[in-house]
């Protein structure tokens, strides 16, 4: 019978280590144009390779039905959240992926605490959940636009740490990605959205109001990452100006955490081995 030897925990690749936010986190030390010394063509080939291992690990995760992986993606407008989901997750089995986007809360959502709608959409065991925006909006846009006073949003860092810790304890590994875009690159991407008729639907005039608040958003991201990057639910700062760097790093982070989960195919039913199907 095939055995499933559990090996010692895998070491993260260098880029994964370097992009991890720690308690002393300083956003200005992370270059949105960083490449980790990668070559574009090599990186594209490597993405395919890394994702084929991710696909295999995902199959095991799905078969095992024991743990879930929740990938939270946050970024400013045009930061590449949709592109990351489309380009990185494209090669894995959609049956095991649960993508949720969080927009302006509805009236029903606003009549509950801010984690209510979030918890309802965390992934079930065996699946990979992807959050396109998340509960972090409640310490980002809510703070910057002053939708709630400081004594309300400041307590949320603690709620979020404790919520994510509970998820981890109960079988959902949480991994958080901040797509770090430069102000110049955001300008170029927003302009492209305006100029390209097939992209124009993504542009809202309000995006310019948010762009004018760039420094406030950077400060809010810095605090959010500093306050909530924990051992059990780490943040990664993903250089996002170059899509090919972003994609490969996200794939490597996914692979690293799936390797840590180390899912195994379940044991077959007793007596199945050797059965001849007639």
Kindly list the residues in this chain that would bind ligand AMP in the complex (CB under 6 A).
102-105, 133, 137-138, 141-142, 147
Angle between helices 81-88 and 243-261 (to 10 degrees): 60
Output DSSP code: residue 90.
G
Q: How far is the CB of 211 from ligand AMP (least distance, A)?
A: 12
Nearer to Mg ion, 77 or 87 (CB): 77
Per the DSSP assignment, residues forming a β-bridge with 130 are 71, 99
Nearer to Mg ion, 77 or 227 (CB): 77
Q: Are 51 and 88 in contact (CB under 8 A)?
A: yes
Q: How far is the CB of 109 from ligand AMP (least distance, A)?
A: 8
The encoded tokens of residue 101 equal: 């986007």
100 φ, ψ (degrees, to nearest 5): -130, 135
Residue 241 binds which of ligand AMP, Mg ion, none (CB < 5-8 A, kind-dependent): none
Nearer to ligand AMP, 105 or 168 (CB): 105
Nearer to Mg ion, 31 or 209 (CB): 209
CA separation for the pair 263, 61 (Å, rounded): 5
Per the DSSP assignment, residues forming a β-bridge with 70 are 129, 174
Q: How far is the CB of 38 from ligand AMP (least distance, A)?
A: 28
Q: How far is the CB of 75 from ligand AMP (least distance, A)?
A: 9
Q: How far is the CB of 89 from ligand AMP (least distance, A)?
A: 17
180 φ, ψ (degrees, to nearest 5): -95, 100
Q: How far is the CB of 180 from ligand AMP (least distance, A)?
A: 17
Nearer to ligand AMP, 104 or 108 (CB): 104
- Give the range of 25-33, 77-85, 94-102, 171-179 binding Mg ion by CB under 5 A: 77-85
Residue 20 binds which of ligand AMP, Mg ion, none (CB < 5-8 A, kind-dependent): none
Q: Which residues of 185-217 are buried (b: 16+ CB within 10 A; e: fewer)?
A: bbeebbeebeeeeeeeebbeeebeebbeeeeeb
Q: Are 203 and 193 in contact (CB under 8 A)?
A: yes
| Nearest alpha carbon to residue 233 among 241, 224, 242 | 224
- Give the range of 75-83, 120-128, 140-148, 263-271 binding Mg ion by CB under 5 A: 75-83
Residue 133 binds which of Mg ion, ligand AMP, none (CB < 5-8 A, kind-dependent): ligand AMP
**How many helices (H) and strands (E) are present in the chain, helices listed first?**
12, 5
Residue 36 binds which of Mg ion, ligand AMP, none (CB < 5-8 A, kind-dependent): none
Q: How far is the CB of 82 from ligand AMP (least distance, A)?
A: 8
Nearer to ligand AMP, 118 or 128 (CB): 118
| Nearest alpha carbon to residue 25 among 275, 234, 194, 172 | 234
The encoded tokens of residue 227 equal: 């306050």
Residue nearest to ligand AMP (CB): 137
Residue 223 binds which of ligand AMP, Mg ion, none (CB < 5-8 A, kind-dependent): none
């Amino acid at each position: 019978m095939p055995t499933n030897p559990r090996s010692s925990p895998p070491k993260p690749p260098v880029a994964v280590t370097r992009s991890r936010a720690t308690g002393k986190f300083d956003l200005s030390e992370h270059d949105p144009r960083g490449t980790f010394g990668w070559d574009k063509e090599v990186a594209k080939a490597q993405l395919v390779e890394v994702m084929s291992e991710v696909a295999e690990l995902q199959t095991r995760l799905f078969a095992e039905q024991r743990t879930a992986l929740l990938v939270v993606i946050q970024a400013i407008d045009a930061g590449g959240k949709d592109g990351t989901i489309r380009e990185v997750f494209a090669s894995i089995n959609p049956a095991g992926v649960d993508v949720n986007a969080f927009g302006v809360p509805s009236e029903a959502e606003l009549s509950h605490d801010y984690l209510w709608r979030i918890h309802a959409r965390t992934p079930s065991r065996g699946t990979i959940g992807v959050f396109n925006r998340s509960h972090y909006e409640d310490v980002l846009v809510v703070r910057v636009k002053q939708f709630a006073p400081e004594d309300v949003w400041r307590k949320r860092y603690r709620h979020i740490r404790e919520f994510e810790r509970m998820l981890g304890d109960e079988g959902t590994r949480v991994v958080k990605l901040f797509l770090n875009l430069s102000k110049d690159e955001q300008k170029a991407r927003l302009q492209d959205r305006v100029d390209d008729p097939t992209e124009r639907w993504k542009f809202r005039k309000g995006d310019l109001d948010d762009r004018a608040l760039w420094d406030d958003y950077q400060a809010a991201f810095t605090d959010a990452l500093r306050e909530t990057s924990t051992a059990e639910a780490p943040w990664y700062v993903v250089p996002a100006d170059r899509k090919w760097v972003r994609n490969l790093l996200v794939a490597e982070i996914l692979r690293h955490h799936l390797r840590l989960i180390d899912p195994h195919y379940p044991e077959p039913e007793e007596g199945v081995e050797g059965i001849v199907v007639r």
